[in-house]
Structure 1
Amino acid sequence: MSNSLLRIGVAGCGQAARIHVERLLTDPDVRIVGVADAVRETAEALAAAIADRQGEAPEVFDEFRGLLDQRPDAVGIFTPHLLHYRQAMDALQAGAHVFIEKPLSTNSQEAADIVSLARGRRLHVAVGHQYRLRPSLIEARARLAADAVGPLRLVTAAMAEPWLARQREQGGESSWRFDPKMSGGGLLADVGDHLIDALLWTTGRRALEVFAVQGRVDPGLDVVTAATIRLEGDVPATLALSGVSRGSLFELNFFGERGRIHATDSILEIDPGGGSPVQRVETPGPATSIDAVVLAALRGQGPPCCSAEDALETVRLSEAVARSAVTGRVAPLV
């Protein structure tokens, strides 16, 4: 696709959509041609805000297929998780590229279907794993690839935040996250998806099997997950997610034979071992937004931040973690 005007439709008009639309409209060659939401008032509110920015109001729909009648070049999908699969498939069938908030889908078979259809139609599917744009994680990935700490022997990944309290306080448009019929999971499938993707992306290794336990609350959503994962090369990794913390945490530790790399979403530290001081690596803020990267990919100017093929591995691991927690057994990734 050339640098001509990009016509974009937006599905789901809540908070995530408002953030992405704000970024998309910083590009003068983007036009939002339609918005869709099951709650029409929500769609109308977003349409009014878009009109103020681009000087023309997009069409408003309360049904997704009406949005596709606008024949957009691409569709941004910012709806509850369980709607991702059907909307992505319909958009691809209509010939539109897709930018979809994480997770790609709630199970690996649906995610594989999206990958297959996009490949067959030669269309882009970009997934919202924007942590890949964090300079600290980019640098950690580069140093691991360069064997900076020697052969990798262990990885620990942890995320903690007051997810349960925050979601209960917000209510409203976030209430679907507490309904298993809409969310497809709790913390693991929501913000935990970022940590799982970061673990796989920084190490460059696929997960082979996992054993996990979870703590749940009514009506059945997970709020705490602990898992042991075997990565390619027989590297063990631990994953810990807590949604009942009073504060926030996001970190990965990579233990090699010659040292350790400690990475958060904003900090990178190298511990060379042997009594040498820990080195703090200065990293700037993200140079660009995921929306700008996706637009560049649509114009043939580079890859998307996270392709559907990459996101499929994250879905596979998330699904295996949930399966192991339910069965109490080691779950191989198939």
Structure 2
Amino acid sequence: MANSLLRIGIAGCGQAARIHVERLLKEPDVKIVGCADALRESAQALAASIAETSGESPAVFGDLRGLLDQRPDAVAIFTPHLLHYRQAMDALQAGVHVFIEKPLSTNAQEADDVVNLARGRKLKVAVGHQYRLRPSLVEARKRLAADAVGPLRLVTAALAQPWLARQQERGGESSWRFDPKMAGGGLLADAGDHLVDALLWTTGRPALEVFAVQSRLPSGLDVVTAAAIRLEGDVAATLALSGVSRGSLFELNFFGERGRIHATDALLEVDPGDGSPVRRVDLPEAAESVDANFLAALRGLGPLSCSAEDALDTVRLSEAVARSAATGQVVPLI
């Protein structure tokens, strides 16, 4: 497959799909062969956009089954989160590689099923945890692994965005993302999944137990989540997510015995802890996108930045946070 045309199908044709398709079409030897969406108008609109860019018009389908009949090499899934599991399983059973926009699943058992089926069929499943490719987090992970600030003792992770206000301004077109009872799975499963994955991936430590609280609007929309987490090695971590902030924030702070590392999605600062000034680290440009990484892995040119197996711990921790918030109990993960 290294030098051959890759035929890709798109499941779910909203805004996220448009962003990823634009990246896919910039890569050589890629053809979008079909677009599927329960709202056929969305599939038609995306297909028209692809035709305008590439000169080739993909087939349009109202469901994944028709798309799989085209026998693509891979399917990229951008549907609401609670649909990820069934569609990934259907694609794998059809012998097709899969890219899934995060989260892999909102259910740990389902995520495990996807991993096992992919392993059994010898197929690749990539998960769109794009923050693993951010130079700031890549460098933070390297420095933590090298014990740059001494033994790690505490991690704080925070994410805040004015999502709720934006959706109200737009007429609530994506309010499903905040509702745990609907296809989005709530704030934690949506934007929060990036932060959960970044916390676990940069530290390289699985979570052992968690206690969490959540607050929601009277309508049921999930808007704030906070959790205290014990990571392997008795490292304490806090996680805070807000969808009702007036501004935006994505940051992690790693407190070691000799200093501190502060990372956002775009910068990295190191406090050596010896009284000298905090130093901002020069970072390179991002080397690749998750889409380019997926295509390279299909061609045997390198590993996936985040496979389904890699994403299992993130799904497990997110599920445990939600369970703890619902029950008011500490939830173990081992």
Q: What TM-score results when the alignment is normalised by the length of structure 2?
A: 0.97
* Mapped contact 1:47–1:59 kept (Cα < 8 A): yes
The one-letter code of the counterpart of 1:326 is A
User: C-alpha deviations, 1:314-334, integer Å up to 9, x for none?
Assistant: 010000000000100001115
- 1: CA distance between counterparts of 2:170 and 2:262? 33
- 1: CA distance between counterparts of 2:51 and 2:185? 35
Matches within 5 A, 1:220-235: 220-235=220-235
Q: Which residue of 2 aligns with 1:145?
A: 145
* Cα drift, residue 179 of structure 1: 4.6
- 1: CA distance between counterparts of 2:96 and 2:287? 28
* Cα 1:169–1:157 shift into 2, 3 Å: same
Identity %: 81
Deviates more, 1:213-222 or 1:178-187: 178-187
* Cα drift, residue 296 of structure 1: 0.3
Residue segments in structure 2 that go unaligned for 5+ positions in a row: none
- 1: CA distance between counterparts of 2:67 and 2:128? 21
* Mapped contact 2:140–2:202 kept (Cα < 8 A): yes
1:35 aligns with 2:72: no
Q: Which residue of 2 aligns with 1:44?
A: 44
The one-letter code of the counterpart of 2:188 is L
1:216 aligns with 2:216: yes
* Cα drift, residue 33 of structure 1: 0.4
Deviates more, 1:178-187 or 1:18-27: 178-187
- 1: CA distance between counterparts of 2:178 and 2:324? 21
* Mapped contact 1:51–1:58 kept (Cα < 8 A): yes
How many residues were matched structurally? Answer: 334
* Cα 1:268–1:229 shift into 2, 3 Å: same
User: C-alpha deviations, 1:4-55, integer Å up to 9, x for none?
Assistant: 0000000000000001011100123000000001111111011011111222
- 2: CA distance between counterparts of 1:90 and 1:186? 24
Q: Which residue of 2 aligns with 1:285?
A: 285
* Cα 1:179–1:326 shift into 2, 3 Å: closer
1:96 aligns with 2:96: yes
* Mapped contact 2:176–2:184 kept (Cα < 8 A): no
Q: Which residue of 1 aligns with 2:6?
A: 6
* Cα 1:218–1:118 shift into 2, 3 Å: farther
* Mapped contact 1:14–1:173 kept (Cα < 8 A): no
1:274 aligns with 2:274: yes
* Cα 1:112–1:171 shift into 2, 3 Å: farther
* Cα drift, residue 172 of structure 1: 6.5
* Cα drift, residue 171 of structure 1: 4.0
The one-letter code of the counterpart of 1:162 is P
Q: Which residue of 2 aligns with 1:332?
A: 332
* Cα drift, residue 288 of structure 1: 1.6
The one-letter code of the counterpart of 1:224 is V
Q: Which residue of 2 aligns with 1:243?
A: 243
Matches within 5 A, 1:151-300: 151-171=151-171, 173-300=173-300
Matches within 5 A, 1:61-140: 61-140=61-140
Q: Secondary structure at the match of 1:183?
A: coil
Q: Secondary structure at the match of 1:34?
A: strand
Q: Which residue of 1 aligns with 2:22?
A: 22
The one-letter code of the counterpart of 1:39 is L
* Cα drift, residue 267 of structure 1: 0.9
- 2: CA distance between counterparts of 1:172 and 1:29? 38
* Cα drift, residue 64 of structure 1: 1.2
* Mapped contact 1:153–1:256 kept (Cα < 8 A): yes
User: C-alpha deviations, 1:294-328, integer Å up to 9, x for none?
Assistant: 10011111111211011111010000000000100
* Cα drift, residue 169 of structure 1: 2.3
- 2: CA distance between counterparts of 1:309 and 1:42? 31
* Cα 1:100–1:171 shift into 2, 3 Å: farther
The one-letter code of the counterpart of 2:253 is N
* Cα 1:23–1:239 shift into 2, 3 Å: same
* Cα drift, residue 123 of structure 1: 0.5
- 1: CA distance between counterparts of 2:80 and 2:306? 19
Residue segments in structure 1 that go unaligned for 5+ positions in a row: none
- 1: CA distance between counterparts of 2:274 and 2:18? 49
The one-letter code of the counterpart of 2:5 is L
Q: What TM-score results when the alignment is normalised by the length of structure 1?
A: 0.97
The one-letter code of the counterpart of 1:95 is G
Deviates more, 1:38-47 or 1:178-187: 178-187
* Cα drift, residue 284 of structure 1: 2.9
* Cα 1:172–1:326 shift into 2, 3 Å: closer
Deviates more, 1:53-62 or 1:124-133: 53-62
The one-letter code of the counterpart of 2:200 is L
Cα root mean square deviation, aligned: 1.2
